Chains A and B, each alone.
Chain A
Amino acid sequence: MLRRIKEFTIEKLIQACGLASIFFVAVIFLFLLKEGLAVFKTVLPLDFVFGKNWYPISEPAQLGILPLVLGSLLVTLGAALISIPIGVACAIYIAEIAPGKIKEVLKAGIELLAAIPSVVLGFIGMVTLVPWVKNIFHLPTGLTALSGSIMLAFMAMPTIVSIAEDALYSVPKNYKEGAFALGATHWQTIYRVMLPAAGSGILAAVMLGIGRVIGETMAVMMITGNAAVIPHSFLQPVRTLTATIAAEMGEAVVGSEHYFALFAIGIVLFIISFIINVTADLFLHREKY
């Protein structure tokens, strides 16, 4: 009898924990809303999103996040342009071309990259990439959107490569054999058969990689220069949404307008990542074959 009660309790506990992730996602969103929505008592939502000036500590404060949104978009666009072709090419090489032993080494290298903390990559970017960018383009500072894009492209690689690689593996073998039997070369098979068949998985890989880029904080804060102005080129400093939160929350007084505004930025980031993850999940779990 006692054992029955014990087992009943444990099973209920397991069920409760099963729901934990739903609970935490809800709690995160609720607390962001709770702290963030307060900013709209003083700023209109449209002025917040499309306001051109971010001067949170001037009197009166100007809380327009357009420069930050554009900063994030510019850095993300740059990172996407670099990481998508290289990442997908790398995934094809690992999944299709690399021979056994080399494949293992390459995969270990990608895993290693995924394991390096972002603050370490930010530091390395500061001491290597930033001076290069400065010297190559003869700029007053190397802390630019371009440096951020390059570093972020690099950080998105593990996500893009590993998910795209999985997508290529999951293409049924007989597709490939069919193409070979018709006399197609290996490259023709990859290009005309494998890539289209793995399309939705590769798309998901790209989206999740971009999600990683938008949410990345430390490296971006360390190498993009953090100037909250509307960017006009890749060669000038920008400030992203994430970096703004990380850099300013330390100084914002709890309960102040500035504090609420930073939480409102958090809401924006949460919604962006939510949309990206749900869409990518739909692509990954689409019934095929």
Chain B
Amino acid sequence: MRNTKKTQKIAFFFLFLATLLVVVPVGLIVVIIVQKGLPAINWQFLTDVPRQGMRSGGIFPAIIGTLYLVTGSIIFALPIGLMAAIYLSEYSRENFLTRMIKLAIVNLAGVPSVVYGLFGLALFVVFFKFGASILSGSLTLGIMILPLIITASREALESVPQSFREVSLSLGASKWQTIRHIVLPNAIPGILTGTILGLGRAAGETAPILFTVAAFYLPQLPSSIFDQAMALPYHLYVISTQVPNVDEKIRYGTALVLLAMVLFMNLVAIVIRYKFRKKKKW
């Protein structure tokens, strides 16, 4: 008896140790980036163009480029993703086609990000002749975050109780009226959460934009969606591997801005989810 207790103690200790091994580095990474990046952050760094071969100046064009890309990808992915989610939750039946759609979503989520880059290059840049442009990059990122948006929206829609739909239908509302006025409003927090997480994902990805939009160095802002643009994740890659003798501070500063942007979006998503859970009436 004492032996089994001892075994349990040892086993639990190792499980705890493993958990620490995962969680502690996460905390350390965030702390290191904040600590070393914060001194670089000032008004000039955030609003100036890169200067002296990106060894000084700011990262303004990269921030703006990333904002454009994120906006573009969501304009594309949200309508399609939301409607696909409505289809899966409200219209589809348990049959072979639905099974295939779900499998396709899983696969879309699993395609390596660099393969999305190749695909964007082949389809948007070369085949549609959009060139390396914000349009090509946004569409590529949009397809990449599609599975995330579909899955989150579908969960949100399916969590609306069946009785809501039944009451609406029994009052003579049509199927679409029920979806539009009853199901969707009740699912909005969940959809919003998924959308914001998608935004964060699109903001942080590098590989899909490598050959579809990202400019190595472009001191002016893009003027149309057919222009190339700098982007934060690619800029971080460039100044940490491609350009020698960049001040550590600038690298950490760029990493911090990118991390802050992504984590901020995640935080907003978490807050929405939390508030919604508290307010939920059913």
Contact = CB atoms under 8 A, between A and B. Distances in A.
Given A191-B11, A217-B113, A15 B87 contact: yes
A28 B263 contact: no
Contacts of A280: 106
A215 B111 contact: yes
Contacts of A7: 174-176
Contact of A118 (B4, B11, B119, B206): B206
Interface centre among B7, B104, B114, B251 (most CB of A within 10 A): B114
A193 to B, nearest CB: 14
A118 B204 contact: yes
B146 A185 contact: no
Contacts, number: 258
A7 B165 CA distance: 17
B206 A117 contact: yes
A249 B211 CA distance: 7
A64 interface: no
A117 B115 contact: no
A53 interface: no
A119 B115 contact: no
Interface stretch (A55-63, A169-177, A261-269): A261-269
B14 interface: yes
Interface centre among A109, A110, A191 (most CB of B within 10 A): A109
Interface in B99-117: 100-101, 103-117
Contact of A90 (B4, B22, B121, B240): B22
Given A18-B83, A21-B150, A87-B18, 19 more contacts: A17-B80, A17-B87, A18-B84, A24-B146, A25-B107, A27-B119, A31-B123, A31-B127, A86-B18, A86-B22, A90-B15, A93-B16, A113-B22, A117-B233, A118-B113, A127-B251, A215-B115, A242-B112, A274-B110
8 contacts: A87-B22, A119-B258, A186-B8, A191-B11, A217-B114, A262-B118, A263-B118, A273-B110
Interface of A: 7, 10-11, 13-15, 17-22, 24-25, 27-28, 31-32, 34-35, 85-87, 89-90, 92-94, 97-98, 106, 108-113, 115-124, 126-128, 154, 157, 161, 185-188, 191, 208, 211, 214-218, 222, 242, 245-246, 249-250, 254, 262-263, 266, 269-270, 273-274, 276-278, 280-281
